Amino acid sequence: MRLLLGVTGGIAAYKACELTSLAMKAGYAVQVIMTAHATRFVGPVTFEGLTGRPVMTDTFEGAGAGGIDHIELAKWATVACVAPATANVLAKLACGLADDALTTVFMALRRGTPCVLAPAMNTEMWLHPVTQRNVGWLGELDRYSFVAPTAKRLACGDEGVGALADPIDILAAIQARTPPA
């Protein structure tokens, strides 16, 4: 079982460390890809320590010189997840943009590779009609499924929906979509 875990630039990025740890204990090999903004919240070295694998943050780093190849990585995955998924990355996935390592690899995933998205953001960002449209549109595609954000007092101080789902629930969603070996 090979899990490709995308981590994006939200306050809940630290919870992706717990998800990584849970997935490793559940028997997944985990490869992490971070956006540049995600690295402002959590250091790649944390994920490297948890997974034993180098984290991909830059499409061009080491390209053609033995670095991580984005197409090989996309082929490697049996299941993929983005947690937390920012409003920005949801919009990029909905538009098919591939302008950084994470979105490039996720666009290159094989057609049968399931992809679990766990959004987390401020309530207004989540309820924004464009975000809701993007989530609705992505959810209509076979490859994407969502673990909905939960309601609570958010890091920004607002009360409402937008908190990352519990990592245990995200792992359960990943396991439910992992193809049999």
Ligand X SMILES: Cc1cc2nc3c(=O)[nH]c(=O)nc-3n(C[C@H](O)[C@H](O)[C@H](O)COP(=O)(O)O)c2cc1C
48 or 158: CB nearest ligand X: 158
Told to judge if 95 belongs to the known catalytic residues of this protein, a careful annotator would answer no
Residues contacting residue 140 through CB under 8 Å, at least 6 positions apart: none
| Closest CB 107 distance from ligand X, rounded Å | 14
Q: Which of 77, 120, 170, 171 binds ligand X (CB under 6 A)?
A: 120
Residue 8 found at the interface with ligand X (CB under 6 A): yes
Distance of alpha carbon 123 from alpha carbon 118, whole angstroms: 14
| Closest CB 106 distance from ligand X, rounded Å | 12
Look at residue 177 and give its three-state secondary structure. Answer: helix
How deeply is 179 buried, as exposed, middle or buried, from its count of CB atoms within 10 A (0-12, 13-18, 19+)? exposed
Which residues, 72 to 91, sit near ligand X by CB under 6 A? Answer: 86-89
Tell me if 32 sits within 8 A of 44, measured CB to CB: yes
| Closest CB 9 distance from ligand X, rounded Å | 3
Element (H, E) at 20: helix 15-25
| Among the residue ranges 30-38, 52-60, 72-80, 170-178, the one whose residues contact ligand X (CB under 6 A) | 30-38
Q: Indicate the DSSP class of residue 179.
A: P
Q: Which of 10, 114, 149, 167 binds ligand X (CB under 6 A)?
A: 10
Q: Indicate the DSSP class of residue 128.
A: S
The residues assigned a catalytic role are 156
Residues of this chain that bind ligand X (CB under 6 A): 8-12, 35, 37-38, 86-89, 120-121, 125
